Amino acid sequence: MRLKAHHPTRTALAADSQGSGMNYVIIGEIIKVHGVKGEVLVRSLSDVPDRYRGLETAVVIGSDGSLATFAIDGVREADLGVVVKFHGIDDREMAQDRLLGCSLAIERAAVPPHESGENYHFELIGLEVVRTDGARVGILESIIETGANDVYVVRGPRGEVLIPATREVVAQVDVAAGQMTVRPLPGLLDEVEATDEGTDGRTDEASDDVSDEASDEAAGRR
């Protein structure tokens, strides 16, 4: 069974200008100047309902990592995304010079809470992935959306490992602890050898006893 997944962004986080942490969540990409009055077309990276409705401010992140906060004068739906008018950007040239190619973000604190037992993609990126027998698999670097189920791209001592985001494989997600636990099913993760380091004493047999509640916690939101 695939895990549910809802995401506000694909690669979700950006550090603030002081480098003090991942404080912003990217929700769109500015892909085109729209008309002659400074409006831009934003390709949304969010499937949160009405993400842009009522949005009063947003952070524009340049390709060089620079950040600029803008008030938003107006938002409307379009065929290819969302048309946004930023305050102070009043003609096509300004929009092209200052906004085109940038990412659109909101503060992490403004992300709406998800349902219990679910997670946003940005909460999963960076988690340490371990097997139920304690063997370390690696760090979750990215998430591939396949249409059937997401696939977690994990980088470890033996290189890249692809892990399907299904309830059969993902035993538990503990964002607070920074860890995801996965079951080494036949033909999957066999190459990852169990070691004494980092083991929590659980065995593969014990993984079968993981409760439905723990499995529900592994459901991801994107």
Domain CATH for 147: 2.30.30.240
**Extended beta strands in the chain, E state:** 13-15, 22-34, 39-44, 57-61, 67-78, 81-86, 103-107, 128-131, 136-145, 150-156, 159-164, 170-174, 179-182
Boundary residue ending a domain (82, 110, 138): 110
Scanning 54-177, the segments in alpha helix (DSSP H) are: 92-98, 121-124
Q: What is the DSSP letter of 1?
A: -
The predicted-structure confidence for 109-166, as pLDDT tens digits, reads as follows 888 777 777 788 888 999 999 999 999 999 999 999 887 789 999 999 889 999 999 9
Do 148 and 61 belong to one domain?
A: no
* Closest-CA residue to 153 (of 173, 135, 132, 138): 138
The predicted-structure confidence for 213-222, as pLDDT tens digits, reads as follows 444 444 444 4
The predicted-structure confidence for 43-70, as pLDDT tens digits, reads as follows 998 867 788 988 999 999 998 989 999 9
Rounded CA gap, 90 and 5, in Å?
38
- Considering the domain boundaries, does residue 2 fall inside one? no
At residue 191, the pLDDT reads: 66
Do 166 and 213 belong to one domain?
A: yes
Rounded CA gap, 207 and 183, in Å?
7
- Considering the domain boundaries, does residue 8 fall inside one? no
- Helix, strand or coil for residue 215? helix
At residue 193, the pLDDT reads: 62
What domain range is 174 assigned to? 121-217
Output the domain CATH number for residue 90: 2.40.30.60
Number of domains observed in the structure of the chain: 2
Do 212 and 150 belong to one domain?
A: yes
Do 156 and 80 belong to one domain?
A: no
N-term to C-term CA, the chain: 17
Do 95 and 150 belong to one domain?
A: no
Question: H-helix or E-strand containing 213?
Answer: helix 212-217
Do 174 and 154 belong to one domain?
A: yes
